[in-house]
């Protein structure tokens, strides 16, 4: 019951735009809420791609859509276009917002920053293409204030594409995100730049006041004593919901960021090797163990997990690839990019269920070269980060890894019409990859290979918000 209440407090703070529509066969206004208490909440999916959800409240009989609230939400945004200095890692400027309901994206002057006004954990991503590249090098970086929190580089002929994502904790006042990219002077242009972000946990009722206005409309809810750290609990004596305090680990703010402090030797021959991490930026629920290098969440729910690493000194044409393991078994592969300058960077991002007790996650890496090489250490180079995005009450974006295998020089995989492509990559066991290309369209990943007769693979991470 307490976990339901915590989820309810977060959900009630998220208002829906008037134009939001339901998608698929999810719960709709008017559906029966039998078995749920009066005042319980639920979030449904949303087909207009504005990054928000429809919030439903149970009146004891049916689910009803929340309306007229001006409270907190996911603080989501998307921006695209932009430009940057080609021969050095520079701020991406002139990005135009595609969606920004809370005015958290500042594109005035040379600002080009994302600065949400509510504290919490945020999922941030960047994608970009290099066009007409000579020596095939595109790098990108995400910075929190002035500090890099994620970086990646991709080598590939003609049109190398980069896809980068991470989870950051922001204070809701002074913290901001900026995006950087470069082609190292080797491409004619950097194009199709897309950036975005949204809040995934923390600060559910702070600052907006809209959640309280919805609660005040319920006759069996007492909001007079609500304050930071308080939740609503049912009181049989009061025959209603009253402010209370949850003890014993009831927090739903579960997030972590671990990174490597020194390079690790990775054997050749494509042997799966667990990555060792030496330090943390944050670990809000003490769920990451630096001795075992495992994330073992103690709160059940869905988690978004992102990991990245690179290997230096590779033979040209060979690559490194990271993956996320769950309970000792492969759960998700990362991107794979052949090296032309001795370095290969790989990133993986996925949403996974955890039971809150025995489930654990690790990061592995393979070195396809024949000899051992070292990882690149650093908080923005080799890292593992994640956060709880839905526990008990739902409300998280739904992400699916879609894959396709085929024979031919070029193959593609597409997201569905209601989804946004947030990552992906190419896979081939024996044939060199000549193009690992984030697309100009927002829903298709395309890969090219050397041999028309080889069996190859491509996948895309597709998310519906």
Indicate the range of 92-101, 130-139, 214-223 predicted with least confidence.
214-223
10 Å Cβ neighbour count for 228? 7
Indicate the range of 245-254, 376-385, 413-422 predicted with least confidence.
245-254
DSSP code per residue over 55-80: EEEE-SSBEEE--S--------EEEE
As a whole number of angstroms, the distance between CA 218 and CA 60 comes to 12
Q: What are the residues whose beta carbons fall under 8 Å from the beta carbon of 257, sequence distance 6 or more? A: 149, 167, 168, 169, 280, 281, 282, 283, 379, 383, 384, 385
As a whole number of angstroms, the distance between CA 127 and CA 164 comes to 6
Indicate the range of 11-20, 23-32, 420-429 predicted with least confidence.
11-20
Stronger pLDDT, 267 or 429, i.e. the higher one: 267
Question: What Rg, from alpha-carbon coordinates, does the chain have?
Answer: 23
Percent of the chain predicted with pLDDT > 90: 13
Whole-number pLDDT of residue 156: 54
Question: Residue 200: which pLDDT band, with cuts at 50, 70 and 90?
Answer: confident
Q: Are the C-beta atoms of 260 and 382 separated by less than 8 Å?
A: yes
Q: In which element (H, E) is residue 212 found?
A: helix 210-216
- The 8-class DSSP code of residue 315 comes to P
Strand-pair category, 420-427 with 343-354: unpaired
As a whole number of angstroms, the distance between CA 31 and CA 163 comes to 39
As a whole number of angstroms, the distance between CA 296 and CA 288 comes to 6
List the CATH code of the domain at 397-465.
2.60.40
Q: Where are the domains of the chain?
A: 397-465
As a whole number of angstroms, the distance between CA 53 and CA 70 comes to 14
Q: CA nearest 107: which of 95, 123, 122, 125?
A: 95
pLDDT above 80 for 92 = yes
Average pLDDT over residues 301-323: 84
pLDDT digits (tens, 9 = 90+) for 354-366: 888 899 999 999 8
10 Å Cβ neighbour count for 378? 16
pLDDT above 60 for 27 = yes
Compute CA distances 307 → 56, 149, 213, whole Å.
34, 12, 39
pLDDT above 80 for 250 = no
Q: Please indicate, yes or no, whether the overall pTM of this predicted structure exceeds 0.75.
A: no
Whole-number pLDDT of residue 315: 79
What are the E-state strand segments in 147-268? Answer: 147-155, 161-170, 177-182, 189-201, 231-235, 240-244, 255-260, 265-266
What are the E-state strand segments in 356-454? Answer: 361-367, 373-374, 378-390, 398-407, 410-414, 420-427, 433-437, 444-449
First to last CA, the chain: 26
């Amino acid at each position: 019951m307490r976990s339901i209440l915590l989820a309810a407090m977060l959900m009630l703070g998220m208002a829906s735009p008037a134009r939001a529509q339901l998608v698929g066969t999810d719960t709709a206004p008017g559906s029966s809420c039998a078995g749920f208490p009066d005042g319980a909440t639920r979030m449904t999916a949303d087909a207009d791609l504005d990054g928000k959800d429809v919030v439903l409240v149970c009146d004891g009989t049916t689910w009803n859509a929340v309306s007229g609230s001006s409270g907190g939400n996911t603080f989501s945004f998307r921006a695209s276009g932009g430009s940057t200095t080609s021969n050095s890692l520079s701020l991406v400027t002139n990005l135009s917002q595609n969606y920004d309901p809370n005015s958290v994206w500042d594109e005035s002057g040379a600002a080009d920053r994302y600065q949400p006004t509510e504290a919490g954990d945020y999922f941030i991503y960047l994608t970009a293409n290099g066009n007409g590249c000579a020596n095939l090098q595109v790098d990108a970086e995400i910075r929190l204030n002035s500090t890099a929190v994620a970086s990646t580089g991709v080598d590939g002929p003609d049109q190398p594409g980069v896809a980068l994502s991470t989870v950051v904790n922001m204070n809701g006042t002074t913290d901001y995100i900026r995006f950087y990219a470069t082609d190292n002077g080797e491409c004619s242009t950097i194009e199709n730049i897309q950036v975005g972000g949204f809040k995934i946990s923390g600060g559910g009722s702070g600052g907006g006041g809209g959640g309280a206005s919805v609660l005040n409309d319920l006759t069996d809810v007492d909001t007079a004593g609500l304050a930071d750290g308080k939740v609503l609990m049912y009181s049989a004596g009061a025959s209603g919901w009253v402010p209370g305090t949850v003890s014993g680990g009831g927090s739903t703010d579960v997030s972590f960021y671990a990174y490597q402090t020194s390079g690790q030797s990775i054997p050749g021959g494509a042997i799966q090797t667990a990555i060792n991490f030496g330090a943390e930026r944050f670990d809000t629920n003490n769920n990451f163990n630096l001795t075992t290098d495992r994330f073992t969440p103690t709160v059940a729910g869905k988690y978004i997990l992102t990991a990245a690493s690179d290997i230096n000194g590779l033979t040209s044409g060979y690559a490194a690839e990271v993956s996320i393991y769950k309970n000792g078994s492969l759960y998700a592969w990362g991107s794979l990019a052949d090296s032309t300058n001795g370095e290969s960077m790989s990133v993986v991002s996925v949403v996974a269920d955890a039971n809150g007790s025995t489930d654990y996650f690790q990061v592995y890496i393979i070195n396809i070269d024949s000899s051992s090489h070292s990882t690149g250490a650093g908080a923005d180079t080799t890292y593992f980060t994640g956060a709880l995005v839905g526990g008990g009450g739902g409300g998280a974006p739904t992400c699916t890894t879609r894959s396709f295998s085929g024979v031919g020089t070029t193959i593609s995989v597409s997201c569905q019409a209601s989804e946004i492509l947030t990552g992906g990559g190419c896979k081939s066991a024996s044939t060199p990859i000549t193009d690992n290309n984030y697309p100009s369209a927002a829903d298709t990943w395309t890969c090219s290979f050397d041999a028309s007769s080889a069996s190859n693979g491509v996948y895309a991470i597709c998310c519906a918000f």
